[in-house]
Structure 1
Amino acid sequence: MSKLNAFFRKRIGIPADEQITFERLEIVLEKTAKSIPFENLCIIENKTSEITKENLVNKMLVKKEGGLCYELNSILYYFLIENGFDAVLARGVVYNNETQVYQTIGRTHVTILVVHEEQTYLMDTGFGGNLPLKPVPLTGETVTSDNGEFRVKKVDSEHGDYILEMKLKYKDTAWRIGYAFDSRKPITDVSECNEIQSIIAEHPESPFNKSPLITRMTSSGNMTLTDATFTQWVDGVVTKEKVDDARFKELLKAQFGLS
């Protein structure tokens, strides 16, 4: 067993000898979402590294940090490949539901496509609190998880050939767009993510280079920490606490295992 395979299993809490079947992927997704936080601290602290398999292992599995979509989904992609799945990474454009337009910084979202028994599924562990937590077929069929309802629709546009739609539990009453993605142009090498990382780190309209954002799923909802607030969703009930620098560092360690 490779270092990545062994370390990933240890990080999310899956036995070394357990066979990962397609039916077990929702357990992998749930455990990953609860174990590895979505966070931008390296961007904020200007401490980014080149995106390579080795660096991803070191960052998220050895040093036990989190990451953004291009890191979280890349490490999961490698794990899937090493466990015999037919998987590729794909690029997408996130939709801003407040302004009702797609982000103007380009295809900076990275997601995973898995083919199983001639059917393609979307898998994503890098979309903050909007995770499907299950493979979503590209057929339009609705998938329901602890985080809500999700579906992928065929929609040809300048941004890709499909869109992910969601209705988050306790948060959405109607379907909304998560992002568009292009299944026809898979990422051929993870080094392509370096371009994405540069845009995220440097572009003036990037949502992730302004202030710290850390979030992860929990057994009863999710929690999000910024430099101003700590927000928890527990069984549909939201609580928000204002934080100062000392409290931020305390919560970062206690709730996310980060320093």
Structure 2
Amino acid sequence: MTFLPAYIKRIGLSSVPTRADLATLALVMAAQSRSISFENCDVVLGKRISMADADVEAKLVGQMRGGYCFEQNTLLRMALQALGFQVTPVLCRVRWNKPSDEDEPNTAFTHMALKVALDQGEYLADVGFAGTNSIAPVALGTANSQALPEGEFRVTDGRPGYQVLQLHVKDEWRALYSWRVGEAAAAIDLECANWFSCTYPKARFTTSFFVSRVVGDEHHHILNEEYVVRKGHGVGSTVEKQRVADLEQLLTLLEEVFGIELAAGTDVTNLDRYLPPPANVD
């Protein structure tokens, strides 16, 4: 099976879309977000992450795995280009839960997103920021609030030369990530950022376990030992939390909730290294 039909089947669509328009972009983004989990299992297991198109396709489509932003948005870029879209990768500085960067940048370019050019203008497309990004396209070129399925978003100016994606949370606008205006990400820069993210000892994904998936109107994620289900968004949202007890429960959640099928024979030693140690039994 060639790439595009296999991808369309993987994300649960019944047929290949025939128009490269906003409706198709929204359809594909939502379908991938609901079908392919964000996950860093391979990083936790000490493996290196490849951004090569063939490797991304083999893992996320052929092996029924998920991936983090450099894999997820590489796959989305491949699919959109195959559907006839004009796509530009961009590198972003993560701003979510970070201190002000008014004086100087204090986060590296460790996130990949996409800009998609349509007849009505450019849109930001991102299926790889896990629990807080919009699974629908975000219009660029306007600072107005945009009511989207995952909440209210807007794009505004940041530090000089940057734009920022923001999410409205508890009566305030909070920055998710920023990018340089008008600058496309070179392949070598993406490769370096990906290498940093899966190897640097203090990088987020080498120091924690994280998996996330959109299920209906719910966001499910596991961060280290905590399994969280958030229903809805904004003031009407509810959050349920539980502790992941052991490796057996973690593997069950990965398969049954997140649709992650680790290959037979995978050495899962250390996959549970962020879970609490077993209680002492006298």
TM over 0.5: same fold? Answer: yes
2:221 pairs with 1:219: no
2:239 pairs with 1:241: no
1:257 Cα deviation from its structure 2 partner: 1.7
Q: Distance in 1 between matches of 2:152 and 2:105?
A: 23
**1:257 aligns with one of 250, 256, 259:** 259
TM-score normalized by the length of structure 1 = 0.89
- DSSP-derived class of the 1:231 partner: strand
User: How many residues end up aligned between the 2 structures?
Assistant: 252
1:129-144 matches, within 5 Å, as 129-138=131-140, 139-144=142-147
Q: Distance in 2 between matches of 1:71 and 1:183?
A: 23
Q: Distance in 1 between matches of 2:85 and 2:153?
A: 22
2:114 pairs with 1:117: no
Q: Distance in 2 between matches of 1:83 and 1:183?
A: 26
Q: Which amino acid aligns with 1:110?
A: M
Structure 1 vs Structure 2: percent identity of aligned residues? 23
Q: Which residue of 1 aligns with 2:267?
A: none
Q: Which residue of 1 aligns with 2:167?
A: 166
1:103 Cα deviation from its structure 2 partner: 7.5
TM-score normalized by the length of structure 2 = 0.82
Does the aligned pair in 2 maintain the 1:105–1:199 contact within 8 Å? no
Structure 2: gaps (5+ residues):
263-282
Q: Which residue of 2 aligns with 1:7?
A: 6
1:1-259 matches, within 5 Å, as 3-20=2-19, 21-97=21-97, 99-101=99-101, 104-117=106-119, 119-138=121-140, 139-157=142-160, 160-167=161-168, 172-189=170-187, 192-235=189-232, 236-244=237-245, 245-258=247-260, 259=262
Task: Show structure 1 runs of 4+ deviating over 6 A.
Answer: none
1:47 Cα deviation from its structure 2 partner: 1.8
CA-to-aligned-CA distance 1:180-221 (integer Å, 9 cap, x gap): 1124221243x5432112211222331111121101112122
- Aligned in 2, Cα 1:110/1:17: closer, same or farther, shift over 3 Å? closer
Aligned CA-pair RMSD: 2.0
Q: Which amino acid aligns with 2:165?
A: L
Q: Distance in 1 between matches of 2:36 and 2:106?
A: 28
Which segment is superposed worse, 82-91 or 218-227?
A: 218-227
**If you compute each CA radius of gyration, which structure gives the higher value, 1 or 2?**
2
- DSSP-derived class of the 2:29 partner: helix
CA-to-aligned-CA distance 1:11-48 (integer Å, 9 cap, x gap): 11123343243222212111111111111111111222
